[in-house]
Amino acid sequence: MAQRIADITITDGVIAGPFRQSVNQAQNIEGSIHNDEVASKLGFRGGTVAGSIHLELFPPLLLNAFGDKWFDTGTLSMNFKNATTDREPVRALLDVPERKGDTQVRAWIEREDGMLVGEGTASVGEPDEATALQQLDLTRWETGELRILAGMSAGDKIDEVEITMASKAQASRMDIITEPLEWYADSPFGGPIASPATTVHFLYGHPSRFIGKRSARAVGLFGAIEVRNINGPLVLDRTYKVGGIILAVGESPKTEYLWFESHADTLDGIRVAEMRMQLRWMKASSPLYG
């Protein structure tokens, strides 16, 4: 195995990674939830660390639980519960699989004081159970009178475009990725493979531009993320066709939200990876709720 395995422990059927300090790289983005001033005005303790960054805690645990096969057909499905700020110690945890082969286990993230940051599932192959986010009934709430997402609806298609993710973008982060695996720099797949955060960025960028053109300006954040390797992993410096579909829109007392799925296919039509994501927009940040 060409991967560096972190200093993990296995106790009482739980695989636990070490506490790491996830870095808030987006602190300087004006108008974002990652900016201290913006986040504080909205009731957060400070600029938040993107949930996608926390997903990079998991690969050493996934390799321990499922082996290299996770990069071929593995999923990581996470519903975020509480935000963290720059460099707050957090760790990833998985239940030990009860059997070999296609299987799914509980996965979660916790802060050093025990606060639950996110919870969900991790799997490999085609287990009998649906993933944490696939189990959710996305239509269980009424759409309501949307303002930020007015005009958006389930079934809206995100047309495919060809995108190449340059390896230099990930290479520039190698010194702050909490678990920098060797394959992020070079791999048997013909080049560097995408880390979980890079995978999210690749499958989020085009859909976010599509959504942004149709939604009103407001401060947004990730509510939930699931990455799925179908015939993975994504290899950087290759061109893929990226598209998707809006699954649901709705509102809560403090937010409007949208669920979408996106995918990356090879140019000859082979599905490589998919993502399911919930985006939330803070009502208090929008003049439409003034």
**What pLDDT was estimated at residue 31?**
66
pLDDT band at 151 (very low <50, low <70, confident <90, very high): confident
On the question of pLDDT at 144 being above 80, the answer is no
The chain-wide mean pLDDT, for the chain, equals 91
Q: Is a pLDDT exceeding 70 seen at residue 9?
A: yes
* Per-residue buried b or exposed e for 100-138, using 16+ beta carbons within 10 Å of the residue's own CB: eeebbbebbbbeeeeeebbbbbbbbeebeeebbbeebeb
Q: What is the mean predicted confidence (pLDDT) over 242-251? A: 96
Torsion over CA of 40, 259, 204 and 64, rounded to 10 degrees?
90
Determine the average pLDDT of the residues in 194-204.
96
pLDDT of res. 86: 85
Determine the pLDDT at residue 2.
Answer: 37
Q: What percent of the chain has pLDDT over 70?
A: 94
What pairing do the DSSP bridges indicate for beta strands 116-124 and 103-111? antiparallel
26 vs 44, residue with greater confidence: 44
Domain 9-125+143-289 has CATH 3.10.129.10: yes
- Asked whether 64 and 5 are in contact (CB, 8 A), the reply is yes
User: Residue 23's pLDDT is what?
Assistant: 83
pTM: 0.94
10 Å Cβ neighbour count for 243?
18
Tell me the Cα Rg of the chain: 18
pLDDT (average), residues 147-169: 94
